[in-house]
Structure 1
Amino acid sequence: MSMIEVLATLKAKDIQLALKGDQLLVQGNKQALSEPATLALLREHKPALIELIRAGRYDASTAGRVEVPANRIPADARQITPDMLPLASLSQEAIDRIVASVPGGAANVQDIYPLAPLQQGILYHHASATQGDLYVLQAQFAFVGHERLAAFVQALQGVIDRHDILRTAVHWEGLEEPVQVVWRQATLALEEVVPDPADGPVAEQLRARFDSRHYRLDVTQAPLLRLVYARDEAGQRLVASLLFHHMAMDHSALDVVRHELQAFLLDQADGLGPAVPFRNYVAQARLGTREQEHEAFFREMLGEIDEPTLPFGLQDVQGDGGASEESGLGIGPGLSQRLRLQARQAGVSAASLFHLAWAQVLGALSGKQQVVFGTVLMGRMQGGGDNDRALGMFINTLPLRVDVGSQPVLAGVRATHARLTALLRHEHAPLALAQRCSGVLAPTPLFSALLNYRHSAAPSSAEPSAAWQGISNLSSQERSNYPLTLSVDDLGAGFSLTLLASAEVDGARLCGYMHTALEHLVQALEQTPQQALDRLSILAPAEREHLLRGLNDSRVSFPPAQTLHRRIEAQAAATPQALAAVCLGQSLTYAELNQRANALAHHLSALGVGPDERVAIVARRGLDTLVGLLA
């Protein structure tokens, strides 16, 4: 492993180094520091790390990061020129056109810089959608009255004022590359809508009216949020939908917003500390690892993959998520503890076990041993740094290849962890670059399933803060353009699974497959770590029994042997008016069929037709043919 890879691994695990005399001091993520593989890595490279620190080439606060160019736009700028934008490459004409679209002109432009990788993908879906926008999300709240609504609006405006990403607009028309423009001031839009009492509950009306399948936000105007509310006379309250664009916030950002809203509502915003500029992340993504390094990595991982991984044959990754259904399943304390213990003993992260189990499920569903699926990256597996209190799209979706063939279980776990760790070094690579490094030809997607492993706060049973008195959270909404998206919430002690799946798929059954895969994986690590991965089943015993034996139990009890005409006669006697046959708009009951066949049979007998004599039937396809054959 090169020193660059060593530093990338330590960064991913949130481990910092320092020197005290001749001793190497190691601090940071306690769980990572208890992993045997991490300790072995530090021991192996200890001399080189010490020399790196002594030479001044390592700094715990900046290891693995790039130097972020300063923002050169002065607060009193009357015109913005290309040299003021170190992160963007724009002509003066393009800058002037962008500035003209900003209320207040140049004086209201704080910064201009490119989009982060996942923002680019989201913008593609926004620009190509003919109606609606998959990535307009909703969170619904209820307020006891206008006073609490006003307090909420004021607090949210305070959060917007703090964070550049919430004061951002996106421009792409006529540009070689899209950019985001940070306004110095962007006011939250508040709109009242009038519900129709005949259309049902107010909350459902708002949700339907601003559903992302037909509603769009104007992303060229900041902020990328909007609050709409309506009076709920039946509930004696106000119901509001906070509409926000996924280009501005991801799942973890919502937790930061809630935390800061609470601080503003309690008049404690001074204790929040400085906001982390989103431009820092964009600079890291733009100025970090070179594109050639990204391409070399993905070609090595994906170059021999010439068929996509499409569970159930699902391949529409351009959908609006409107037909998706959500299923959930908790993982009990016992299995959760066993998963963490086995991860620690194997020297890997718990996330690696979940990635391998998901690969087993997808491999079984698609008939693949070399499985590729998307994984959501950017500090969600390890955490650390300032990103835990920053807002913005601090995530990226990239393909991960996991082999689930005949290699031993323990080796498969460690290989998955190694590939995930290596992928973290390329977390800023564009998805389009990664996909074109495979042998799968466009427009066929490389994968159609996603795994989002995220650290989440466990549900709290404590009383809500006084800040939220008179304010309640009704619901939130998540959507994905992938037909299968599994979110794993790491709750600190336990885990939970949430699956967004196409309506064609039984989501609850898939969650069950994932749970069984985890059970069998941890059991193999405990008892038979050298067992082949492809010998582990994703089927629970009851379903396996049903598939192998229940569906193959085709024994049928038939009455004693009878000729066909005797069986027709018996049916005519039992249910004479039951429908026997339908053809070309005509029908016969069993009584009619039996009567006509008998009449023809007696006629043939009168003509001298006996047993084993051949009779030709000349007739078009229809009921007459059936009568003739039966006679």
Structure 2
Amino acid sequence: MNTKTPITNLLADLQQNGITVWADEDKLCFNAPKNGLTPALRTRLRTHKVALLAFLKAPTAAINGVSPTPPPLILPRNTDEKALAHHWQTLLTLEQVGIDDNFFAQGGDSISATQLLAWIQQQYQVKLPLRDFFATPTIRGLVQSIAHNKQRAQVQQPPLVPMTTTGAKQAGHILSFAQQRLWFLDQLRPDSAFYNMPKALQFVGSLNIPALQQALETIVQRHHTLRTIFKLVGEEPRAFTLESTTFTLRQIDLQHSAELSPTDPFPLLRTEASKPFDLANDLPIRALLICLHPQKHILLLTTHHIASDGWSTGVLLRELVTLYPAFCTGQPNPLPAFPLQYSDFAAWQRQWLQGATLLAQQTYWQQQLHNLTTLALPTDYPRPAIQTTKGAHRLFHIDAEIANSAEKLSQQTSTTLFMLLLASFQSLLHHYSQQTDIVVGSPIANRTRSEIASLIGFFVNMLVLRSDFSDNPTFRELLAQVRETTLGAYEQQDLPFEKLVELLKPTRDVSRTPLFQVTFALQNAPFSSLALPDLQIDPLPLDKGHVAYDLNMVLWRDATGLQGRVEYNCDLFSAETIDRLITHFQHLLTQLIADPDKPLAQWSVPPLLPPQAQPTSRLASASELALYAQWNTTATPFPAQQTLAHLFEQQVIHNPTAPALVYANESLSYAEVNTRANQLAHQLINQGVTPTSIVAIYLKRSFDLIITILAINKTGAAYLPIDIDTPAERITYMLDTPALTTLISTPDLADKLAHLAVQPLLLTPAWSQQLNTPTNNPTVNDQAANWAYVMYTSGSTGAPKGVCVTQKGVVRLVRETNYITIAASDRFLQVGSIAFDASTWEIWGALLNGATLYIYPPGPLDLSDLTTFIADNNINMLLLTAGVFHQLVDYHVDKLQSLRCFLAGGDVINVSHADIVRK
């Protein structure tokens, strides 16, 4: 019998060429030697990808020596491989790396790749093209590239060495190109704080102020750019480094201030951050320490952009958390001295960017940006004749499942997460503007030399990234185009944006920035951990109130997915329009990742502005109007002025004996729940709880948990739910608010709260019999606009933030909705963590509609037990995360027959799984 098939033949040919292939979930992976993957083999791999993946994932995949798992780890074998591996591990914070491991699959990106190649240039005196590293991003490939490039002549950069200081004290240092342009702009607006870069840090714990002062003084002494002033010498600005200067840490104590409040330091922070610098006389850095409490301080560091950038802020913070503990214990400065300073870079830059080098960069950008088109993005308000800078921002989040899918697709397409997100954003701009020539600006660290990686200074450069949509590409094709464009820009990043504007000479337009008006960034500058012994440090958000561009989208990766911020010009866009843009971006990104081979023109994106607000020069088409109406006709009437307590009490009147709560085979009627909640509410009022209070809850899933939530809302206060698995230090942070009045828990959990200053109210098993308080509904001055609850974010991007949700918002979620109908006969399941807002729908969806809420036992979630519970109790209303939804459908769908309404969210839902449930 002939057992040969196209798949086994392909595998045999791959092995003959030294190519190892395996499956990683739904991704086809391979290791290939240089020139091993021929165009013919690449075509066959593409043709048979689906069948090959199925073969590799099958139990019998170990046929013909093919393994369904990655090849064994090959550790570095010689000096070069070991040196490269060590630096690779340092950059990506890895414990081990093999010579065939993929740099980008291990968390690398274009910035860390640039750092690696800069280190290679310093160590081996060879400059490797970034696109070559993208082609073979392994240690084995790097060793081969180093050997290959050493054999061919390269354009040598001049050495970056300390310049002579002879005459520098009198004549000053030359400015970098970026500094020179910024200096001229600052002279036009000397009283402006536009180029200020404020950073606020909150210290909780015992702060050693002398050690902090010494650490800041040391940082200023180490980095010459922080003690540099700028003066005119003749007609040219020059930089003068002050040899001896005193850096002062100003201190303000708000504990006993008659004018300023320690509970709201932000007005003071904004005032201090907006004070302009006098570059001719002031150091380009200021520090202010605000004392709110003996155990709580805020440090405001404000630098001028002429001496710093985003990367530099990370360097400063890293040095601060290194120096401070050393000085606390009387140790000497542990940081090594710098062989170079920013002034050395400025001199080197002007020596390097001339002649053939400058011509090559200029030629590239002239060709790349020929006949550039201005982006015609619809705006809410007419563009002012002269550009304004009044700005605001909106925050958003992209779930981990989408972020992970984006990273997988970027690896499959040999791109980076930045390239994929940029392509998605440009696709959105293409849909909004109906233009095929889309240009955005993007900042780049511009630290291509390893010698300057740890310096504070103005290194950042702006790249102009252009994409062509004229041939209606698929998203995969667009990714390939963006990859080439971005890699080309990275290779030519040395040309300062200031010189690029001079070169291209765009038509002068004072109403907008030259070359581009929209920017995009994926932040990954090296911010170090801000952890210190006995001292908690949290960054505080500080809105500058101004922007440099029409729009700026910034994303950053964390454990929960992607965090995002859109900064926008308030004289062009409304907050509602930016919220709409964010929603469209999230939706389009999800679609593009799910089907990257669909032509972009086939994706439907509603207009940025409502049809009635569209400019008369561009009328919305009938299909656009229909699509917009479909996406936005969502309003339904609901009891918007009713409080949660009042709506619940209405259900008590209508259905007093109906079951409200079921837990551990026991049931409480609406009347019984109301009586107990009233008892506890009166007790809380007696203890000083008012409609402006916050009451924390630290309880397991039980009757008492739901009754406590009701009781708190009956007082008009907001509840702050805390999961019982929350770490102690996070609980301390969450409870650090002046509005907190009390904490409710049980005796069996009291040990976990012993570290807190607040005295908890402990509910014993018989508390309702022991309380001697009224059982009638409390009378309080409660409003629908009052907060219902406060929930904290993960804090993965800094300090956890409390999100306050109004009672009106909760009512809108569960009453007279347009997405489900809820009847008194429905049975809800309360299974979500009380610290996540899914519990809001579970609890209030039942209790404000007369339905029954079944409380799932506390403890780890076992899917088999969960589905048995659902079936045994005829649960018909269920809300789960996307991940749990997929698992239930895959393995336990037969036990979900009782469900009438099954909601899932938080991440992308597979259509096939939804179809299974629907059928």
Shared fold (TM-score, shorter chain, > 0.5)? yes
* 1:137 pairs with one of 180, 197, 200: 197
Q: Which residue of 1 aligns with 2:590?
A: 519
> What is the distance in 1 between the residues matched to 2:538 and 2:347?
38
More displaced, 499-508 or 26-35? 26-35
Q: Which residue of 2 aligns with 1:413?
A: 479
Q: Which residue of 1 aligns with 2:864?
A: none
Shift of residue 344, structure 1, vs aligned partner = 0.9
* 2:581 pairs with one of 469, 488, 510: 510
2:249 corresponds to 1:190: yes
Q: Which residue of 2 aligns with 1:171?
A: 231
Q: Which residue of 1 aligns with 2:532?
A: 465
> What is the distance in 2 between the residues matched to 1:306 and 1:131?
34
Query: Conserved in 2, the CA contact under 8 Å of 1:309 and 1:448?
Result: no
Q: Which residue of 2 aligns with 1:53?
A: 150
Spell out the pairing of 1:104-253 with structure 2 (5 A cutoff).
Answer: 112-117=173-178, 119-129=179-189, 131-141=191-201, 148-172=208-232, 174-176=234-236, 178-192=237-251, 197-198=258-259, 200=261, 203-212=265-274, 215-221=275-281, 223-229=283-289, 232=292, 239-253=298-312
Q: Deviations over 1:460-514 (max 9, x none)?
A: 7xx9422736x66544455531121111213488432111112333333222232
> What is the distance in 2 between the residues matched to 1:47 and 1:257?
37
Shift of residue 452, structure 1, vs aligned partner = 2.1
> What is the distance in 1 between the residues matched to 2:134 and 2:481?
18
> What is the distance in 1 between the residues matched to 2:214 and 2:143?
52
Spell out the pairing of 1:16-415 with structure 2 (5 A cutoff).
Answer: 28=88, 31-32=102-103, 38=133, 40=135, 50-54=147-151, 65-73=157-165, 80-81=166-167, 96=170, 112-117=173-178, 119-129=179-189, 131-141=191-201, 148-172=208-232, 174-176=234-236, 178-192=237-251, 197-198=258-259, 200=261, 203-212=265-274, 215-221=275-281, 223-229=283-289, 232=292, 239-267=298-326, 270-275=333-338, 277-283=341-347, 285-289=349-353, 290-310=357-377, 312=379, 321=389, 323-378=390-445, 385=450, 387-405=452-470, 406-415=472-481
* 1:489 pairs with one of 533, 538, 556: 556
Secondary structure in structure 2 of the residue aligned to 1:160: helix
| Letter of the 2:586 counterpart | H
- TM-score, reference length from structure 2: 0.46
Q: Which residue of 2 aligns with 1:6?
A: none
More displaced, 43-52 or 127-136? 43-52
> What is the distance in 1 between the residues matched to 2:581 and 2:238?
39
Higher relative contact order (CA 8 A, sep 6+): 1
Query: Conserved in 1, the CA contact under 8 Å of 2:176 and 2:347?
Result: no
> What is the distance in 1 between the residues matched to 2:442 and 2:312?
18
> What is the distance in 2 between the residues matched to 1:252 and 1:501?
22
> What is the distance in 1 between the residues matched to 2:420 and 2:556?
14
> What is the distance in 1 between the residues matched to 2:429 and 2:474?
19
Shift of residue 134, structure 1, vs aligned partner = 0.5
> What is the distance in 1 between the residues matched to 2:599 and 2:297?
58
Q: Which residue of 2 aligns with 1:427?
A: 493
Shift of residue 316, structure 1, vs aligned partner = 6.8
Q: 1:174 to 1:546 in 2, by over 3 A?
A: farther
Q: 1:472 to 1:20 in 2, by over 3 A?
A: closer
| Letter of the 1:261 counterpart | L
Q: Deviations over 1:188-232 (max 9, x none)?
A: 2334568763465562342243353xx211122353111234555
> What is the distance in 2 between the residues matched to 1:314 and 1:37?
46
Q: 1:31 to 1:533 in 2, by over 3 A?
A: farther
Query: Conserved in 2, the CA contact under 8 Å of 1:263 and 1:269?
Result: no
> What is the distance in 2 between the residues matched to 1:314 and 1:19?
64
Query: Conserved in 1, the CA contact under 8 Å of 2:223 and 2:341?
Result: yes
Secondary structure in structure 2 of the residue aligned to 1:347: coil
Query: Conserved in 2, the CA contact under 8 Å of 1:404 and 1:534?
Result: no
Query: Conserved in 2, the CA contact under 8 Å of 1:137 and 1:243?
Result: yes
Secondary structure in structure 2 of the residue aligned to 1:466: coil
| Letter of the 1:113 counterpart | I
Q: Deviations over 1:571-590 (max 9, x none)?
A: xxxxxxxxxxxxxxxxxxxx
Secondary structure in structure 1 of the residue aligned to 2:394: strand
* 2:628 pairs with one of 547, 557, 571: 547
Query: Conserved in 2, the CA contact under 8 Å of 1:302 and 1:437?
Result: no
Shift of residue 459, structure 1, vs aligned partner = 10
| Letter of the 2:352 counterpart | G
Structure number with bigger Rg: 1
Q: 1:239 to 1:343 in 2, by over 3 A?
A: closer
> What is the distance in 1 between the residues matched to 2:411 and 2:550?
33
Secondary structure in structure 2 of the residue aligned to 1:334: helix
> What is the distance in 2 between the residues matched to 1:21 and 1:139?
43
> What is the distance in 1 between the residues matched to 2:209 and 2:81?
57
> What is the distance in 2 between the residues matched to 1:190 and 1:301?
48
Shift of residue 136, structure 1, vs aligned partner = 1.4
Instruction: Give the number of equivalent residue pairs.
Output: 484
Secondary structure in structure 2 of the residue aligned to 1:393: coil
Query: Conserved in 2, the CA contact under 8 Å of 1:65 and 1:284?
Result: no
Q: Deviations over 1:117-153 (max 9, x none)?
A: 2x34433432212632211132334568997333222
> What is the distance in 2 between the residues matched to 1:145 and 1:459?
20
Q: Runs of 5+ in structure 2 lacking a partner? A: 1-75, 92-100, 109-130, 611-623, 635-919
Query: Conserved in 2, the CA contact under 8 Å of 1:374 and 1:450?
Result: yes
Query: Conserved in 2, the CA contact under 8 Å of 1:226 and 1:242?
Result: yes
| Letter of the 1:251 counterpart | G
Query: Conserved in 1, the CA contact under 8 Å of 2:177 and 2:498?
Result: no
> What is the distance in 1 between the residues matched to 2:505 and 2:199?
40
Q: Which residue of 1 aligns with 2:14?
A: none
Shift of residue 451, structure 1, vs aligned partner = 1.2
> What is the distance in 2 between the residues matched to 1:40 and 1:230?
51
Q: Deviations over 1:76-135 (max 9, x none)?
A: xxxx43xxx6xxxxxxxxx74x56xxxxxxxxxxxx232242x34433432212632211
Secondary structure in structure 2 of the residue aligned to 1:114: coil
Q: 1:411 to 1:65 in 2, by over 3 A?
A: farther
Query: Conserved in 2, the CA contact under 8 Å of 1:497 and 1:511?
Result: no
> What is the distance in 1 between the residues matched to 2:494 and 2:478?
26
| Letter of the 2:433 counterpart | S
Query: Conserved in 1, the CA contact under 8 Å of 2:204 and 2:535?
Result: no
RMSD: 4.3
Query: Conserved in 2, the CA contact under 8 Å of 1:66 and 1:284?
Result: yes
Q: Which residue of 2 aligns with 1:562?
A: none
More displaced, 268-277 or 126-135? 268-277
Shift of residue 273, structure 1, vs aligned partner = 3.1
> What is the distance in 2 between the residues matched to 1:512 and 1:208?
30
2:517 corresponds to 1:448: yes
> What is the distance in 2 between the residues matched to 1:372 and 1:149?
48
Query: Conserved in 2, the CA contact under 8 Å of 1:37 and 1:347?
Result: no
More displaced, 253-262 or 215-224? 215-224
